[in-house]
């Protein structure tokens, strides 16, 4: 695999940490952007949604912000999420808000050694609550937010691969299991990831030589492609069972 500097590796795979949670009226510290952009979501070749995201970092940690909007339908749905992680990649806080057509919202917080989720149909509605016997190191993989899969890929590289003479070495087709929580579905499940080597694919009419990974869920298999020449940024996701593709714009 192509060489990369230690600083880039740490930036892209090991430095997922959360910004300290600011009070509502306090200004958040300015952070350095690790990644930003948008993913187009396509079903059967037709664009059905767009996710716009940023991942920023400062001396205190990182925050992953995302907004998802549907396209091509009469009723436009929109929602946002903010994922904050500690310096060792553990969940500090996760917020989800429905922007339209409703105003539902939920939050996931660590409760001592485990996680707790609260949600409601709107800001003025009664909250429900559910504890999860999951450690804060669990990975958030919420519906519609594909940038969470990029974060999971970075964690996979950090835990399953190693550096040798300035190169990232990943064992081929060796499964690594990672725990996940889907707040939308209020369910947890293990995810198995594996490195599948390099592959040349066409994205927006341009051939790219990318790293390929497999992600196995209970509900089916995903394939992901990452650019190791550009801080291991996620470029494409294929979900064959749903006839769905996600492509970086």
Q: Is residue 180 part of a domain?
A: yes
Supply the pTM of this predicted model: 0.87
Q: Euclidean distance between the first and final Cα of the chain, in Å?
A: 25
Q: Is residue 105 part of a domain?
A: no
Which of 26-30, 32-36, 94-98, 121-125 tops mean pLDDT? 94-98
User: Is-contact 52 67, C-beta < 8 A?
Assistant: yes
- CATH number of residue 53's parent domain: 2.40.360
**pLDDT tens, residue by residue, 172-183:** 999 999 999 999
- Predicted pLDDT of residue 10: 39
**pLDDT tens, residue by residue, 134-155:** 999 999 999 999 999 999 999 9
13 band by pLDDT with thresholds 50, 70 and 90? very low
For residues 84 and 82, give the distance between their C-alpha atoms in angstroms, rounded to a whole number. 7
159: nearest Cα among 125, 132, 195: 195
Report the mean per-residue pLDDT for the chain.
87
Average pLDDT over residues 112-132: 94
Query: Would the pLDDT of 5 be above 80?
Result: no
Q: In which domain, by residue range, is 60 found?
A: 6-20+29-72+138-248
What is the 3-state secondary structure of the chain? CCECCHHHHHHHHHCCCECCCCCCCCCCCCCEEEEEEEEEEEECCEEEEEEEEEEEEECCEEEEEEEEEECCCCCCCEEEEEEEECCCCCEEEEEEEEEECCCCEEEEEEECCEEEEEEECCCCCCCEEEEECCCCCCEECCCCCCHHHHHHHHHHHHHHCEEECCEEECCECCCEEEEEEECCCCEEEEEEEEEEEEEEEEECCEEEEEEEEEEEECCEEEEEEEECCCCCEEEEEEEHHHCEEEEEC
Half-sphere exposure of 85 (CA within 13 A, CB side): 24
* Number of domains observed in the structure of the chain: 1
- Predicted pLDDT of residue 131: 96
**pLDDT tens, residue by residue, 36-92:** 999 999 999 999 999 999 999 877 778 999 999 999 877 789 999 999 998 888 999
CB contact set of 228 (below 8 Å; sequence gap of 6+): 1, 2, 4, 168, 210, 211
Q: Is residue 187 part of a domain?
A: yes
CB contact set of 198 (below 8 Å; sequence gap of 6+): 1, 209, 210, 211, 212
Query: Would the pLDDT of 171 be above 80?
Result: yes
- Predicted pLDDT of residue 49: 97
Q: Is residue 48 part of a domain?
A: yes
- Predicted pLDDT of residue 94: 98
Q: Is residue 41 part of a domain?
A: yes
Q: Is residue 238 part of a domain?
A: yes
Average pLDDT over residues 85-113: 93
């Amino acid at each position: 695999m192509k060489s990369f500097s230690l600083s880039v590796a740490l930036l892209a795979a090991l430095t997922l940490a959360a910004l300290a949670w600011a009070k509502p009226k306090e200004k958040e510290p300015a952070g350095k952007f690790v990644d930003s952009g948008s993913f187009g979501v396509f079903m059967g070749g037709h664009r059905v949604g767009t996710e716009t995201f940023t991942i920023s970092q400062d001396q205190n940690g990182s925050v992953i912000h995302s907004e998802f909007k549907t396209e091509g339908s009469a009723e436009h749905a929109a929602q946002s999420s903010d994922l904050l992680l500690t310096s060792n990649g553990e969940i500090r806080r996760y917020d989800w808000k429905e922007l339209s057509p409703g105003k539902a919202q939920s939050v996931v917080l660590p409760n001592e050694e485990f996680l707790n989720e609260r949600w409601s149909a709107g800001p003025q509605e009664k909250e429900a609550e559910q504890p999860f016997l999951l450690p804060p190191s669990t990975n958030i993989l919420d519906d519609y937010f594909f940038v969470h899969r990029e974060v999971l890929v970075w964690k996979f590289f950090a835990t399953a691969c190693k550096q040798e003479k300035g190169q990232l070495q990943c064992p081929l087709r060796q499964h690594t299991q990672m725990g996940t929580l889907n707040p939308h579905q209020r369910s947890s499940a293990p995810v198995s990831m594996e490195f599948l080597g390099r592959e040349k694919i066409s994205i927006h009419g341009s051939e790219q030589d990318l790293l390929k990974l497999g992600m196995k869920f209970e509900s089916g298999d995903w394939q992901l492609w990452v650019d190791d020449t550009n801080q291991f940024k996620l470029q494409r996701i294929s979900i064959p069972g749903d006839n769905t593709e996600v492509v970086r714009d």
